[in-house]
Amino acid sequence: MSPDPPAIEVRPNGPYLVKGGPPLRRKRPIVSEHGEPMTWSSDDAEPQDPVYALCRCGGSANKPFCDGTHARSGFDGTETAPPDSYGERAREYQGTGVVVRDDRGICEHAGFCGNRLTNVWNMVRDTSDSIVRAQVIAMVERCPSGALTFEVDGRIVEPNLPVEIGLVDDGPLHVTGGIAVHRADGQPFETRNRVTLCRCGGSKNKPLCDGTHKEIAFRTS
């Protein structure tokens, strides 16, 4: 019998219960001298047990793993993310040879969508220039939450991402490769190639990250 595919179960007011043993990998952005995120740096993937629990409340002394702090602190993990699909929420920006789609509600604010001179939304108007088009595509592909995606010739194009969970320093969980996430409240949760899950405990869009970790200066070490 083949093993069950990796999946994440959101526990009520508790941790993320991860099944199927997807590996963990520490990730951090590489930034320019101007503080502009340019690409990701990753450590080697670390194999895990078939089942493990990751902290969701932000208070564990054993991050990224749960140590039961959520129960002692009275963590409220009520899920507020909408149960509809990305396609229903996303706004389209028509370019030349490319369509950019954007769902601001699931943005992590990682900053790969712009630099000190411009951003994806401005650049999409100039995609008749194939160099600009390639830059837009590269920026969108580095969006960790999948808030930004793109279509070419009516087809959604996604980067080939591994089945794993990325641990961002002082930030969320980057879940990639189509790992299913099951909400504690029983509402549907769309399985996507990339999604970012809150681990600071403060998101107003749980279980998704909404950038609150930056506002509260969340630290993972």
Strand partners, 52: 18
Domain ranges, ordered by start, for the chain: 7-82+162-215, 86-157
Collapsing DSSP states into helix, strand and coil, what is residue 55? coil
What is the percent of the chain where pLDDT is above 90? 96
Among candidates 33, 6, 12, which has minimal Cα distance to 164? 6
> Has residue 216 got a pLDDT over 90?
yes
Across the chain, mean pLDDT equals: 94
Q: Do 216 and 205 touch, CB atoms closer than 8 A?
A: no
> Has residue 207 got a pLDDT over 80?
yes
pLDDT band of 1, cuts 50, 70, 90: very low
Q: Please give the Cα distance from 106 to 136 (Å, whole number).
A: 19
Q: Please give the Cα distance from 178 to 165 (Å, whole number).
A: 11
What is the per-residue pLDDT for 4? Answer: 80
Q: What backbone phi and psi angles, to 5 degrees, belong to 8?
A: -120, 125
Q: Please give the Cα distance from 69 to 148 (Å, whole number).
A: 34
Q: Compute the residue count for the chain.
A: 221
Summarize the confidence of residues 100-109 as an average pLDDT: 93
- The string of pLDDT tens digits covering residues 164-176 is 999 999 999 999 9
